[in-house]
Amino acid sequence: MTDMENIAVRDRKRYLWVLGTVAPASALFPAQLVQITGLELFWWIGPIFVLVLIPLLDIAVGRDSGNMSEQDYEVLSDDHYYRWCTYLFLPIQFAGLAVAGYMWSSPELTLIDKLGLTVTVGIVSGIGINTAHELGHRAEHLERRLAKIALAQSGYGHFYVEHNRGHHVRVATPEDPASARFGESLWGFLPRSIFGGFRSALSLERERLSRKGKRWFSRENNLLQAWSLTAVLFGAMILVFGYTIIPFLALQAVIGFGLLETVNYLEHYGLKRARRADGRYERCSSRDSWNSDRLVTNVLLFHLQRHSDHHANPGRRYQTLRSPEQAPQLPYGYATMMVLAFIPPLWRAVMDHRVLDHYDGDMTLVNVKPRG
């Protein structure tokens, strides 16, 4: 058996990972689908795909229960095939944005059609943040640069700083703006996480530069680097397609980071790390993140749903993430859980008892929303 055949046996999803490019490709073809079918509904293919089709496929296809063995870890980690699956996301992502820019500037589309296209592109932008998330955790300079590029479309470049140096340090504690509290609705969480994460990123980068003896306006400022990429991208789009695209360009960015923050809401709702005898929090474990193992969403989001292992072992590449037995489990995949989160009473009916079950009914162990 060849080395390639050995690797394929070790990872039965090996040839499925290229399907991670399906999501960004959805922004490339709305015009063709509308022309072929005559159905203007296809301008809205993004939300239809994420909020309707994927939940149905998750239910139909079922769970992804396979874990790699420890002896295969290094083999899979070093296989560059998996890196190229994430690299391929970026050119498709920006090709879709360019096509959208042309369509936004066209007088032939109605406002409703342009809004549908904007939502579709915004969902791609949000999924692009997930790709940036995978790339930004890596030590290689190329992948870190690509992470900042992937974040340019959403204008959410500070995620590069806050996620790695803020969220991963404070996750599942009341101090983390990106960890949702028990009883907190999605609509209350969003402003707290968006503005709290932004403030945290400013503070973290200011402290880092100060330790290195650098000023804020330095070439080494990760925030300015990332925001400059957004300025260049948006400036080029406006220069090519005109000022009329500005509202749509801005709206797709808001939808993009709104999608990211909605996923943040799902991932740690109500969970809190225990404290040690000295008052400090214990090291993050797989019990501190909600896990989901629906195969379709696992493949489309590069194992983001195996979030428990990701936080316990943030250095692991996506293809090596496992589904730990002790991890708390979401009842459905991320796409379905997002729909539930949009309706707070429904979300609480599904999730609150699961949080309490995880801690054997002890509310003192739960990350509770403060009163008042």
Task: Please give the Cα distance from 5 to 7 (Å, whole number).
Answer: 5
Q: Which residue has the tokens 């400036």?
A: 235
Long-range pairs, 204-208, Cβ under 8 A, ≥24:
204/161, 204/162, 204/165, 204/166, 205/161, 208/165
Task: Please give the Cα distance from 113 to 33 (Å, whole number).
Answer: 13
Average the pLDDT over 262-291 and give the result. 92
Q: Which sequence spans correspond to the domains of the chain?
A: 3-270+280-365
CB 11 within 8 A of CB 76: yes
Q: What share of the chain is helix, strand, coil (3-state, %, to 5)?
A: 65, 0, 30
At 194 the three-state DSSP class reads: helix
Q: If you average pLDDT over every residue of the chain, what do you get?
A: 90
The β-bridge partners of 281 are 275
> How far apart, in Å, do the first and last CA atoms of the chain sit?
64
Instruction: Encode pLDDT of 195-212 as tens digits.
Output: 999 999 999 999 999 998
The residue ranking higher by pLDDT, 3 or 316, is: 316
Residue 355 has pLDDT above 80, yes or no: yes
The residue ranking higher by pLDDT, 350 or 23, is: 350
Instruction: Encode pLDDT of 15-26 as tens digits.
Output: 989 988 888 888
Task: Please give the Cα distance from 15 to 66 (Å, whole number).
Answer: 15
CB 323 within 8 A of CB 306: yes
The region of weakest confidence among 7-16, 316-325, 336-345 is: 7-16
What phi and psi, each to the nearest 5 degrees, are found at residue 139? -85, -20
Question: What integer pLDDT is reported at residue 2 of this predicted model?
Answer: 43
pTM here? Answer: 0.92
CB 169 within 8 A of CB 231: no
